[in-house]
Structure 1
Amino acid sequence: MRQTRSYRWNLVVLAIIGVAICAVPDSAHATIGQARAVQVALVGAPTPPTTILADTGPLGGPMGAFFPQLDTREASLLQGIIPSLLTGDLLHATTIGWEDQVASEASIRHLVLSIAGTTITADFVMARAKAAAGTAATGNSDVVGLFVNGLPIMATGQPNQRIDFQGGYLLINELQSSPDKAAVNALHIVITGVADVVIASAIASQ
């Protein structure tokens, strides 16, 4: 009798799992969301170190890969410090998945980046990305009070605005997009042969 009940319960569990898997919409496999406030990669070493601050990680709720479209992830720091390279306040990143859309954003205040003789500062930096079923994915950024080596830089809001300086370049509102995906880096700093730095990054795909 006990063996019969155990067998029946096993069948019930397998049936529930099967229904859950079948119920997952095909679009779930394309649902992507992630945001991070800072990523600094140093180059030139045999194993280049990468430092990441306030990273949500990818969407993927309690059901793991089955239901990433029903998840919320958040990461924050009151102060972010990478010794001798970077400081910033109120680092924040969040990504949210719904049935039919994904929204991600990341931000940092009072940014100071000093590396290889180049200093970049900003009062506020934010990146946003959104993807929704039936509409084109979008991405944008806000950059306030930006200075490069003491010179004020006006962020135009146009995608992929480039500022060249001695030893490297800066991309403002770096955007890669397709109808169903947007990836935005508010600031992308490349110091040739030294470092690759991304400030405020957001990704959304539906």
Structure 2
Amino acid sequence: MMGRTGGVEGGSIRPGKYSHVERERRFLLARPPEPSTVTVTRVITDRYVMGTRLRLRRADFADGRCELKLTQKVPVPQPGAVQGLITNTYLSPAEYDVLASLPAVLLSKTRFSVPPLGVDVFDGRLQGLVLAEAEFTTDDEAQSFVPSAECVAEVTDDARFTGGRLVRASRQELLGWLAEYGLRPAGSQDPAE
């Protein structure tokens, strides 16, 4: 039985006092956005805490601001824009430092705001992955959204392109996944080569 804080049960979700329904659609792009289209830039380091559904995020903005937060995502196993429940807690630097000492796997990227999309350009072994997402407050908004021409393929229902899966992906896996969508990052080799 679910308490007053809501939850996920049998594929249906109920927002609670602290969590809300996360609705987003994800798209692959062939290249980063043109600088003239970007309204905000931030460098993001995500720490996926081992053995949990928790993500510790540090976002450093181009203007010098820093945002620190702890996020819990409770996914729902169904196709479509409703991803599950999300809860965010904003942290002080001291709180962040304590939680950053927990064992975690890291994922880094630069996020460019190109309304209505947030476009993530990944670093390290995920270099060449450009993933855009649009967030919505209602199911109708999500269903009626028409992606821009820069969106090569929708991967909303492809769990391989979620942060929790990408953080564990090898370079070879990523290149194979992108090839399935007809994408080959500049300077990359075919996974079979």
Is the shorter-chain TM-score for this pair beyond 0.5, marking a shared fold?
no
TM-score scaled by structure 2? 0.27
- Structure scoring higher RCO (CA < 8 A, sep ≥ 6) equals 2
Q: Looking at secondary structure, tell me which structure has more helix per residue.
A: 2
Larger radius of gyration between Structure 1 and Structure 2: 1
TM-score scaled by structure 1? 0.26
Q: Looking at secondary structure, tell me which structure has more strand per residue.
A: 1
